[in-house]
Amino acid sequence: MTRHGQLYLRDQVPPRSTHYDRGKFGRLFPALPPFADDTAKVRERLLELGKPGGLMDANDPPPPADALAPNPNNPDNPTHTAGVTFLGQFLDHDMTFDPTSSLERQSDPESIANFRIPLLELDNLYGSGRAANPHLYDQTSGGVKFLIDAAAPKDLPRNSQLTAIIGDPRNDENLIVSQLHLAFLKFHNEVVEHLRKGGTDPNRVFDEAQRLVRWHYQWIILHEFLPKTVGQKLVDDVLKQGRRFYNWRNAPFIPVEFSVAAYRFGHSQIRQGYRANFTGNNGQPFIKHIFDATIPDSDPDPNDLRGRKRAPRRFIDWQTFFDFGDGQSKPNKLIDTKLSSPLFALTSPAINMPDNPRSLAQRNLLRHLTFELPAGQVVSHVMGIKPLDEDDLADLKPLGFQARTPLWFYILREAHIKQGGKTLGPVGGRIVAEVFIGLLQGDRLSYLRQDPAWRPTLGSNNDFEMTDLLKFAKVA
């Protein structure tokens, strides 16, 4: 495996470029062949599989139908609240950023720059540090707090053209992830105040706040997000028995089997719509579709959850998205091969690359060709896991994918068949668990490396969950 990335103290060593130190993508299984040749016929079959109204479309009723109406084709996950998906999206933006690859041409992962440090250190929040990105920080605080717009404290800070002033523009892609980014900004600011009141040396406040924020964030990943996603048993196995497939020579990298396939499981969990808050529409709860492609992006306050907008009602009440014990939280969808219908007609802000198509399923499937990903059955065999039976994939037979299945689809179907859609199955779960735990173990600044016996100090009972973070940040 070639060298990937480099560790550095972001506030002490200047970045080599305006896009941070660039790592590379790579492969878990470099010797495995692609699941299919990149031919016009194969592309046609992949487009058929991921088309609107096709096999992967949950066929939700279109707007203006009730976006929260039950759909038997897209059932709920009783073990996940709705916010887990968007926390997963936020984590993805902390690990990877690939603005250069195309859906049309094949790409060598090791030649593609990852415009993120492949670690879980919140560089989508902190950017390249206070010296390189002073616009992210409130200079009236001495530059130790993030900038919050006093005139619009429930929104991300924005310039005069409403472009968000944040470390990663993708975190303004939809209202939910933008509000999650805002929550992390406010969490850092509250930690600063907590340290000041505790008498921390003013010259050390920022560094100590950043460390506490990162470590509590890493705790959430390891003790909340991963157990919900892959199951506690698998997390414990990787921690105790070690990683079997995700290893590196010099520094962690992001495998395409993870970024292009396994970690895209969250797309199947997105609901058709969400209740954004309790008071945004004349004091009544209002429901917004996740995306409504019939609304032009020029609308300053569209009736969907697209980002890059500012209006009084565009904020999130987190009780809908995480379980605060008040009965208000809503569930995620199951992990399976059905995606909510709005994801088959993405709006322009949700697509950061100009390539057609607008179906998220088609875009994910085409990447299997451009990155030459192996078949799910072959990966399962190499991992020593019994592959799914062809009967479990019989609906793919007309397309010829039942025996050599695109890895993303295979992982979604595996989760449905083997875990009832509540968590990832053994192939997808192992890939996701090993990458997340490997990133933490490969980061010399993580709490797992510096102080594995550390316990959170900002929650209760030596624990810390997303609800604790949101409450500490005073956004819930």
Burial class (CB in 10 A: 0-12, 13-18, 19+), 151: exposed
Residue indicated by tokens 């039976």: 389
Report the share of the chain in percent with pLDDT over 90: 81
Instruction: Band the pLDDT of 9: cuts 50, 70, 90.
Output: very low
Strand, helix or coil at 361?
helix
| Residue count (the chain) | 476
pTM of the entire predicted model: 0.91
The span from the CA of 126 to the CA of 135, in Å, is 11
Instruction: Band the pLDDT of 164: cuts 50, 70, 90.
Output: very high
Nearest partner of 369 among 50, 47, 36, judged by Cα: 36
Average pLDDT for 32-56: 97
**In Å, what is the CA distance from 319 to each residue of 380, 390, 447?**
39, 42, 29
Segment 181-236, tens digit of pLDDT: 999 999 999 999 999 999 999 999 999 999 999 999 999 999 999 999 999 999 99
Residue extents of the structural domains in the chain: 23-55+97-272+336-472
Average pLDDT for 83-107: 76
What's residue 293's pLDDT?
Answer: 86
What's residue 25's pLDDT?
Answer: 85
Is the Cβ–Cβ distance between 44 and 366 less than 8 Å?
A: no
Is 80 exceeded by the pLDDT of residue 93? Answer: yes
Is the Cβ–Cβ distance between 201 and 209 less than 8 Å?
A: no
State the CB neighbour count (10 A cutoff) for residue 257. Answer: 28
The span from the CA of 70 to the CA of 334, in Å, is 13
Average pLDDT for 235-240: 98
Is 70 exceeded by the pLDDT of residue 248? Answer: yes
Strand, helix or coil at 228?
helix
Is 60 exceeded by the pLDDT of residue 161? Answer: yes
What's residue 5's pLDDT?
Answer: 30
The span from the CA of 398 to the CA of 75, in Å, is 25
Instruction: Band the pLDDT of 157: cuts 50, 70, 90.
Output: very high
Using alpha carbons only, how large is the chain's radius of gyration in Å?
Answer: 22
- Would you give the DSSP letter of residue 14? -
The enclosing H or E element of 256 equals: helix 256-256
Segment 418-475, tens digit of pLDDT: 999 999 999 999 999 999 999 999 999 999 999 999 999 999 999 999 999 999 999 9
Q: Is the dihedral of CA 99, 100, 105, 110 positive or negative?
A: negative
What's residue 98's pLDDT?
Answer: 59
The span from the CA of 454 to the CA of 458, in Å, is 12
Average pLDDT over all residues of the chain? 90
Residue 458, both tokens: 């900002």
CA atoms within 13 A on the CB side of 428: 34
Got the DSSP string for 124-169?
HHHTT-TTT-GGGEEGGGTS-EE---TTSTTS--B-TT--B-SS-G
23-55+97-272+336-472: what CATH class?
Answer: mainly alpha
What's residue 12's pLDDT?
Answer: 30
